[in-house]
């Protein structure tokens, strides 16, 4: 665990997710990471494509079986085969918003039925009038018109479809929502709208988020804490202000250096840092977690930590 006062909502300990490939080799998509999320908190999980972020999200919500490690959610161990009771609690209190809003929505289902998916699964005998009202209330919260309830996903814009996906994820009032690159397919202006909407809903409902993204600037805006992931390892983690004020790991520094600046004079001359672990002689397997200050941790050998500071 990197941080936490009180009882965390989610605790991930030494999570490993390996996938066999032809030739007898294994891809170590996630290789021994640990983190936690407090109730009502947003943890930003950031890194480039292939770093293991989405695999982590799928493991947490148990779309994939774990290779090794332990995941505890709201007091329940969800690491291995789930009992019916624990699975019911998990599916009620944790949900996911996916990257592609069109691919994650059934094109042949009306929006009212898509949003009500959780209600139909867990409360099949719910009164139809109550079901409709619950859906309408959620549509109001995510900025969709009730008059759109009987439309199909193809009749919505990308931003509206992502709002449908968010409404579907929130209909059960979950304690944790995993947002897996939920805004990356949207225009920049729409990204801001969706992120602001997520923050508003968090304030209203106390929802915690695992916000998975590669855009560090957007992660900075929404997250209380940030965990930086590369090649299956969390290389640095801490409060958002700690990470941006004092990045220590060279990979974190390279991500921050790539964020565009608003000043055209400085932007023209800016040269983002290039990170190559092999060229720098960095081996994640040889490093250990070092506590720096407050909630700030970094993965490094003793020698690397000295040279980076």
The CATH number given to whatever domain includes residue 159 is 3.40.50.300
CA gap 283, 281 in Å, rounded: 7
- The residue segments making up the domain with residue 37 are 10-308
Residue 23 confidence class, pLDDT cut points 50, 70, 90 = confident
Residue 96 is assigned to a structural domain of this protein: yes
Residue 1 is assigned to a structural domain of this protein: no
* pLDDT beyond 60 at 1: no
* pLDDT beyond 70 at 168: yes
Report whether 240 contacts 294 (CB < 8 A): no
Residue 125 is assigned to a structural domain of this protein: yes
Residue 211 is assigned to a structural domain of this protein: yes
Residue 3 is assigned to a structural domain of this protein: no
**Residues in CB range of 225: below 8 A, 6 or more apart:** 2, 3, 41, 42, 43, 44, 237, 238, 239, 240, 295
Report whether 42 contacts 211 (CB < 8 A): yes
Residue 17 is assigned to a structural domain of this protein: yes
Residue 5 is assigned to a structural domain of this protein: no
Helix H, strand E, coil C: the string for 200-240 is HHHHHHCCEEEEEECCHHHHHHHCCEEEEEECCEEEEEEEH
Per DSSP, the residues of 32-87 read EEEEEE-TT-EEEEE--TTSSHHHHHHHHTTSS--SEEEEEETTEE-SSSPPHHHH
Residue 14 is assigned to a structural domain of this protein: yes
Phi, psi for residue 14 in degrees, rounded to 5: 50, 45
pLDDT given at position 217: 83
pLDDT given at position 142: 86
User: What is the total count of domains within the chain?
Assistant: 1
Higher pLDDT, 264 or 201: 201
pTM of the model: 0.89
């Amino acid at each position: 665990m990197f941080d936490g006062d009180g009882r965390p909502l989610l605790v991930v300990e030494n999570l490993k997710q390996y996938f066999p490939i032809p030739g007898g080799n294994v891809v170590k998509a996630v290789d021994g990471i640990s983190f936690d999320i407090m109730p009502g908190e947003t943890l930003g999980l950031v890194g480039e494509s292939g770093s293991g972020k989405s695999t982590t999200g799928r493991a947490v919500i148990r779309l994939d079986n774990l290779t090794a490690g332990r995941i505890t959610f709201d007091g329940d161990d969800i690491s291995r085969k789930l009992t019916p009771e624990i699975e019911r609690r998990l599916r009620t209190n944790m949900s996911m918003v996916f990257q592609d809003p069109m691919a994650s929505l059934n094109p042949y289902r009306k929006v009212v039925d898509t949003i009500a998916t959780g209600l139909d699964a867990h409360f099949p005998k719910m009164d139809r009038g109550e079901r409709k009202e619950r859906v309408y209330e959620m549509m109001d919260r995510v900025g969709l018109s009730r008059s759109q309830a009987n439309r199909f996903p193809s009749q919505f814009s990308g931003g509206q479809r992502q709002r449908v996906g968010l409404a579907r994820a929130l209909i059960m009032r979950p304690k944790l929502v995993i947002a897996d690159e939920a805004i990356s397919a949207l225009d920049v202006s729409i990204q801001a709208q969706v992120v602001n909407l997520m923050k508003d809903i968090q304030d209203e409902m106390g929802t915690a988020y695992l916000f998975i993204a590669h855009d560090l600037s957007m992660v900075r805006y929404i997250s209380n804490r940030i965990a930086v992931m590369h090649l299956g390892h969390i290389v640095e983690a801490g409060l958002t202000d700690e990470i941006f004020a004092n990045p220590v790991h060279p990979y974190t520094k390279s991500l921050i250096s790539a964020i565009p600046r608003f000043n055209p004079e400085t932007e023209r001359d800016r040269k983002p840092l290039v990170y190559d672990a092999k060229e720098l002689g960095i081996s994640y397997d040889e490093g250990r977690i070092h506590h720096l200050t407050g909630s700030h941790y970094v993965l490094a050998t003793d020698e690397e930590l000295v040279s980076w500071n």
